[in-house]
Amino acid sequence: MNLSNILNTLDTSSERHLDELCQWLKIPSVSSDSMHRSDVADAAKWVAEKLKKAGMATEILPTDGHPLVIAETPAVPGAPVALVYGHYDVQPAEPLADWISGAFEPTIRDGNLYARGATDDKGQVLTHIQSVCDWLATGEPLPLQIKFLIEGEEEVGSENLERLLPGLSDRLACDCVVISDSSQYAKDKPAITYGLRGIATYELEIRGPSQDLHSGSFGGAVMNPAIALCHLLSSIVDSKGRIQIEGYYDDVQELSAAERTAWSNLAHSDEAFAKEIGVDALFGEEGFTTNERRWGRPTFDINGLTSGHQGEGVKTIIPAFASAKISFRLVPNQDPKKLTKALQAHIDKHLPTGVKVTLSPDHGAAGMAADPQSRYAEAASRAIESAFGTPPVLIREGGSIPIVSRFQDVLQCDCLLLGWGLSDDKPHSPNEKFCVQDYHRGIKASAMLWAELGSLRKGV
Ligand code: BES
Ligand code: MN
Ligand code: MN
């Protein structure tokens, strides 16, 4: 294998790499919006075409929702198998007026490529696709088998993939899953992420009178559903951020002293962090640092609230209903199904009289913990150091990739999270971006990763 030959090819192809990413980003593959159904399908076709043209056995697999794209290179006996997972679906681009350039008109400013999906996840997953396609184009055989699973429903909970995964376990069998869908610790501080939080999301609806009522004629004589919702929500968390659901902390894996020390050695400024997100002061569970709160502690959030009059001016009513979209971030070892039971019991206990409540679970996924010292992590560390000129630090992150813990359970594989993003990339927000240099370095690190992983022997 001639790695420098491959690295040269990557260097001379950088313009095409960028151009192809822009093509993919122009397709508005918003998975949550049925208006974008055919765009989502087009984004799947675009990537399937790219993998197929490089000579890989490729299939677009329909699901009850958006399709999966599966591809693979030829088997290499004796070498481990890597499975690259990523997603081609994106979050909605709204509020559109806040974008400096169009969300689906990829634009470069100051060394960054701006578009919805630039960092989450098209730009990141494409680094691995580019490295493999270009490697195959040199005519050199890859030193290991690489499989791809690119899905279109990560941003809506990956439920169809979760259902299909057991049936695909032979096809997707691998030693190690490689995912680039997270971030570096800071600019020029690449990271290997060995843990993610899980998630459980719900919709809570409170119904009172059969229709809105005049608050003068009826106020004081019936329970107001919006007030009932406020009471109920505030019973879930205290003013210091401690969750009040019975048993919520029972299964929480405490942070080890070694882990806390390692994190405290990462450069971090609360002041700069607060400034970056535009708040005067940070807030969180007592006794924990900001990184501990973000990466290693469970949380409760209200993501949306609806009730009563939203239009101009005053309307004196008792609304007929009130609803909230809520979510919990979970740490490894907490079970989202167990939480649903505990939350229902909490609601039954705290619900004010005179209203009806329905709790509808949306999606749930467990957190993920990987071994930061595995031989795959060590191989990745060497590859990242070669491409970025500095070794990666070990971190956890607070976001969730719903399917990763299922990969560990069903495929019995290791998991490598190699994020090429930056903390100010603004995924899910207006003006999402991906640093162009990191895109190119990610492609290089990916090629070097195949060389490193290919030199390991299977199962040893
Ligand atoms: N790429 C993110 C996950 C992520 C975020 C990893 C931040 C590391 C740091 C992923 O696309 C995402 O947004 N996941 C959702 C999952 C949810 C919609 C089920 C999340 O975390 O909210
Ligand atoms: Mn993502
Ligand atoms: Mn996302």
70 and 152 assigned to the same domain: yes
Based on the domain organization, do 107 and 68 belong to the same domain? yes
Looking at the structure, tell me whether residues 162 and 208 fall in a common domain: no
Domain boundary at 331, 364, 397, which? 364
Query: How far apart, in Å, do the first and last CA atoms of the chain sit?
Result: 22
Phi-psi bin for 355: left (phi > 0), alpha (psi -120 to 50), beta?
A: beta
**Do 246 and 160 fall within a single domain?**
no
pLDDT recorded at residue 386: 97
In-domain check, residue 386 = yes
Tell me whether residue 394 is in a domain: yes
Ligand 1 pocket, mutate which of 29, 32, 155 (most atoms under 8 A from CB): 155
Is residue 249 a contact partner of residue 237, using CB atoms and an 8 Å limit?
no
> Is 291 part of a structural domain of the chain?
no
What element of type H or E holds 344?
helix 336-350
Which CATH number is 321's domain given? 3.30.70.360
Q: Is the CB of 120 under 6 A from ligand 1?
A: yes
Domain range for residue 177? Answer: 3-197+367-454
Query: Quick one: pLDDT at residue 458?
Result: 86
CA of 214 to the centre of ligand 2 (A): 46
Select from 330, 364, 398 the last residue of a domain. 364
Cis peptide before 11 (omega within 30 of 0): no
- Pocket of ligand 1 contains residue 363 by CB under 6 Å: yes
Measured CA distances, 390 to 8, 179, 265 (Å): 21, 20, 17
Residues 30 and 51 in one domain: yes
**How many angstroms separate the alpha carbon of residue 401 from the centre of ligand 1?**
5
pLDDT of residue 199: 97
What DSSP string runs through 7-63?
Answer: HHHHHHTHHHHHHHHHHHHTS--BTT-GGGHHHHHHHHHHHHHHHHHTT-EEEEE--
The pLDDT value recorded for residue 1 is 67
Which spans in 156-269 are helix H?
Answer: 159-164, 215-218, 225-236, 257-264
Q: How far is the C-alpha of 242 from the C-alpha of 265, rounded, in Å?
A: 26
Task: Give the number of the atom of ligand 1 that is nearest the alpha carbon of residue 427.
Answer: 13
Question: CA 237 to CA 243: how far, in whole Å?
Answer: 4
- Nearest partner of 213 among 230, 229, 226, 231, judged by Cα: 226
| Tens digits of pLDDT across the chain (460 residues) | 689 999 999 999 999 999 999 999 999 999 999 999 999 999 999 999 999 999 999 999 999 999 999 999 999 999 999 999 999 999 999 999 999 999 999 999 999 999 999 999 999 999 999 999 999 999 999 999 999 999 999 999 999 999 999 999 999 999 999 999 999 999 999 999 999 999 999 999 999 999 999 999 999 999 999 999 999 999 999 999 999 999 999 999 999 999 999 999 999 999 999 999 899 999 999 999 999 999 999 999 999 999 999 999 999 999 999 999 999 999 999 999 999 999 999 999 998 899 999 999 998 999 999 999 999 999 999 999 999 999 999 999 999 999 999 999 999 999 999 999 999 999 999 999 999 999 999 999 999 999 999 999 987 7
Same domain? For 403 and 356 the reply is no
Is 378 domain-assigned? yes
Of the residues 311, 341, 364, which one is the last residue of a structural domain?
364
94 located within any domain: yes
* Statement to judge: residues 105 and 230 lie in one domain: no
Structural element, H or E, at residue 176: strand 176-179
> Which atom of ligand 1 sits closest to the CA of residue 181?
1
The C-alpha R_g of the chain, in whole angstroms, comes to 24
My answer on whether 163 and 225 are in the same domain is no
Q: How far, in Å, is the centroid of ligand 2 from the Cα of 401? A: 7
Both 56 and 133 in one domain: the answer is yes
Q: What pTM was estimated for this model as a whole?
A: 0.95
List, in sequence order, the alpha helices (H) in 250-335.
257-264, 270-277, 290-295
Residue 225 · residue 206 · CB < 8 Å? yes
Residue nearest ligand 1's atom 1 by CA: 181
Same domain, 156 and 110: yes
pLDDT for res 459: 78
For residue 279, tell me if it sits in a domain: no
**Residue nearest (by alpha carbon) to ligand 1 atom 10:** 401
Ligand 3 centre to CA of 198 (Å) is 13
User: Same structural domain for residues 168 and 26?
Assistant: yes
The CATH number given to whatever domain includes residue 398 is 3.40.630.10
| Structural domain includes residue 278 | no
Closest ligand to C-alpha of residue 150 is 2
Neighbours of 70 (CB within 10 A): 22
pLDDT score of 2: 81
Shared domain check, 232 and 359: yes
User: Does residue 271 sit within a domain?
Assistant: no
Q: What total number of domains does the chain contain?
A: 2
- Cα 291 to ligand 2 centroid, rounded to whole Å: 20
